[in-house]
Structure 1
Amino acid sequence: MKAITLVNRRGGRAGADARDRVSLALTAAGIEGPVELIDGDQLAARARAAVDHGAALVIAAGGDGSQSAVAGALAGTGCALGILPLGTLNHLARDLAIPSDLDEAAAVIASGHRRRIDLAEMNGKIFVNNSAIGLYPLMVLDRISQQVRLGRSKRLAMMVASARTLWRFHDQRLRLTVNNGEQELLDTPLLFVGNNDYRLALPAAGRRQTLDDGRLCVMVMRRKGVLGLLAAMARALVGLTRPDDMVRLDNVRELRVESVQSRVTVSVDGETCALDWPLTYRILPGALTVIAPIPGA
């Protein structure tokens, strides 16, 4: 089997020897081809170039941000994505039942089993996991600032960022238009849009059982005071979300989000960006070919 492998030099657990470790795992699995160490912001362009030159398989070694960048470049092309999870959380790999162990993940790629899965899109930007408006992206911005300025660990910085953001945050008034029809006007601290359905209850909290359902997962957090928000977030972290914490919108294939504000900070697969309103989310059924274990096997 031949492939082009792109290693994000700063992808989560990558480390200084990431390229060597990836090369060894691929060689042991019988996978041939160049292994390139690349900056994260160059992954999409390099993947597009590989497709233009006829590549049938591009392997992304990194975290969810790396997988998302390469997936966006491969969407709709027929070129398959192979996943070597080197990130901190590796949500996409986990939901596809791809092992976190590098050698085992390489063996999955060598098996060659191809699946078509959905992608989601927000204002033309493709994502594999989820996007959020409100509390979460502001927490991420604060966390990154602390890591850069103060050298704090990701976990500690996020704890501090969560407390500060909750204390300062005010609800946003949003107008939601679902599938170009029904409209809702609401005030919320958090809007979550996922690529396929996310579970909220144990034992599968934060996981997806399918990635080919053809629907967005849209959840709106109910208005609460600071203490109520803290309690709701704590329940979400341990998989004990209550019905009065979130409102779930069903059968959403397209979602338009509007606000009276001029700009909005959005998180997309863990990365943040500032955009003009409105935001339009769409599901892209079967847009990506991945190499992954057979579901249920």
Structure 2
Amino acid sequence: MREPICVLANAGSGKKSAARIDHLTAPLRAAGLVHEVRLIRKGALIPAAARKARADGFATVIAAGGDGTVCSVATELAGTGTALGILPLGTFNFFARSLGIENDPEAAMQQLLTGVETMAAAGEVNGKLFLNNASLGLYPALLERREAAYAKWGRSRWAAYWSGLQVLATYNRPSRMTLTIDGVVQVRHSPMIFVAQNAYQLEEYGMLEGVDLIRAGQLAVYIAPELRRWQLLGFALRIAVRMALPYRDFTLIGAEAVQIETRARRRTIARDGEREKMAAPFAFRTLPDVLTVILPVPPTIPEEA
């Protein structure tokens, strides 16, 4: 890794989180690398912290947290040449795993110490990066209701299921959306549009038809069909058990650029699990080679005698 190094850690709250970060960054001290650890107590402060790290002249910024934290840091480093290192501390860590980074943070730190820099692609919506996916419609609403359920009952699978049922129960009708896909205009009525740019995440959910599109340098745009409330439950179940099929359960389109207009001037957009209000129109595009990321060195395969 290039020095100096800044570790931006989404520490949450409490001394336990700080102690864990101190333990995980011990190999940096042992290797004699010039570095600084900055603990961020609130997720909303991460973008400003990443901008400051860049302005302070750090050559490498390590994002210690989940996909949302990594996405926030990546947005501020994109196109700057500052290297992004990832110390996965989240639940899914899809972007880190797509790069071959170990899901165990201690093993991931060892990979960072010997890693190499390479360029990586990302998606963008209204100037903000996403590394896995971005969406509008029911999914952002589900995330909001799920966070409220977690705050009330704690993190559990049942709280997630209950919040999902609540969103479906309050669903009224699909939104009218005008899509411009690589210059072609079409009107859709849909409860949700999901834009993916991470092939690894699609593979994990068995949505293999979109993988080839992403590997060809496009975004995989999933458009849910116009459904009634009772039909949505079956749709959600097919997604959950990985039995949803393109052209039967949703429309799949590959595109380098997508613009979506809705009747509402502002809507909530979900990016890698984080929610943010954005102004219409919503412009999605793929950005090749926009990030400098640290990849683990592939294992050496011994030659046969």
Q: Is the 8 A contact 1:19 1:36 kept in 2?
A: no
The residue type equivalent to 2:283 in the other structure is T
Classify 1:104/1:184 alpha carbon distance in 2 versus 1 (closer, same or farther; 3 Å). Answer: same
Q: 2:199, 2:211 within 8 Å by CA — same for their partners in 1? A: yes
1:34 match: 36
Could you tell me how far apart the structure 1 residues matched to 2:235 and 2:10 are? 35
Q: Which residue of 1 aligns with 2:113?
A: 110
Give, as a single letter, the amino acid of the residue that structure 1 aligns with 2:249: D
User: Match for 1:33: what amino acid?
Assistant: H
Q: From the superposition, tell whether residues 68 and 201 of structure 1 become closer, same or farther in structure 2 (CA, over 3 Å).
A: closer
What is the one-letter code of the residue matched to 1:139? L
More moved, 277-286 vs 67-76: 277-286
Deviation at 1:141, TM superposition (A): 1.0
TM-superposed CA distance for 1:114, in Å, is 1.4
Return the alpha-carbon distance in structure 2 between the equivalents of residues 201 and 259 of structure 1.
30
Partner in structure 1 of residue 267 of structure 2? 264
Quote the Cα distance in structure 1 between the aligned partners of 2:116 and 2:202: 29
Q: Does 1:162 align with 2:164?
A: yes
Q: Output one character per residue of 1:95-141: Cα deviation in whole Å (capped at 9) or x when no partner.
A: 11210112210121112311211121111112211111111111111
- Residues 59-95 of structure 1 show CA distances to partners (whole Å, capped at 9, x for unaligned) of 1100111101110111001111000000111111111
Matched with 2:303 is none
Residue 139 of structure 1 corresponds to 142
For residues 260-284 of structure 1, what are the alpha-carbon distances to aligned partners after superposition, in whole Å with 9 as ceiling and x for unaligned? Answer: 2233222111111223321111211
Q: Does the aligned pair in 2 maintain the 1:134–1:189 contact within 8 Å?
A: yes
Amino acid at match of 1:185: V
Does residue 283 (structure 1) correspond to residue 259 (structure 2)? The answer is no
Deviation at 1:201, TM superposition (A): 6.2
Give me the whole-angstrom Cα distance separating, in 2, the residues matched to 1:253 and 1:203: 22
Identity of aligned residues (%): 35
Aligned residues of 1:174 and 1:185 also touching (Cα < 8 A):
yes
Secondary structure at the aligned position of 2:112 is classed as: helix
Q: 2:96 aligns with which of 93, 96, 102?
A: 93
In 2, Cα distance between the equivalents of 1:192 and 1:124?
17
Q: Aligned pair in 2 of structure 1 residues 296, 192: CA closer, same or farther (>3 Å)?
A: farther
Asked if structure 2 preserves the Cα contact closer than 8 Å seen for 1:220 and 1:247, the reply is yes
Work out which of the residue numbers 181, 191, 208 in structure 2 matches 1:189. 191
Q: Is this contact kept in 2: 1:133–1:191, CA < 8 A?
A: yes
Match of 2:154 among 152, 156, 162: 152
Whether 1:249 and 2:224 are equivalent positions in the alignment is: no
Q: Structure 1 residues 204, 290: closer, same or farther in 2, change over 3 A?
A: farther
How far does residue 156 in structure 1 lie from its aligned partner after superposition?
Answer: 2.8
CA distance in 2, matches of 1:97, 1:178: 32
List runs of 5+ in structure 1 lacking aligned partners: none
**What amino acid is the match of 2:265?**
S
Going from structure 1 to structure 2, the CA distance change for 1:82 and 1:211 (only over 3 Å counts) comes to farther
- Say which of 83, 87, 91 aligns to 2:86: 83
2:115–2:297 contact (8 Å) kept in structure 1: no
Aligned counterparts, 1:52-67, within 5 A: 52-67=55-70
Provide the rounded CA distance (Å) in 2 between the counterparts of 1:189 and 1:290.
35
Number of positions where the alignment pairs a residue of Structure 1 with one of Structure 2? 292
- What TM-score, normalized to structure 1? 0.88
The gaps in structure 2 that reach 5 residues or longer are: 301-305
Q: How has the CA–CA distance of structure 1 residues 228 and 119 changed in structure 2, closer, same or farther, with 3 Å as cutoff?
A: same
C-alpha displacement of 1:199 = 6.5
Counterpart check, 1:171 vs 2:174:
yes
Give SS of 1:107's match.
helix
Q: Kindly state the Cα deviation for residue 8 of structure 1 after the two structures are TM-superposed.
A: 0.7
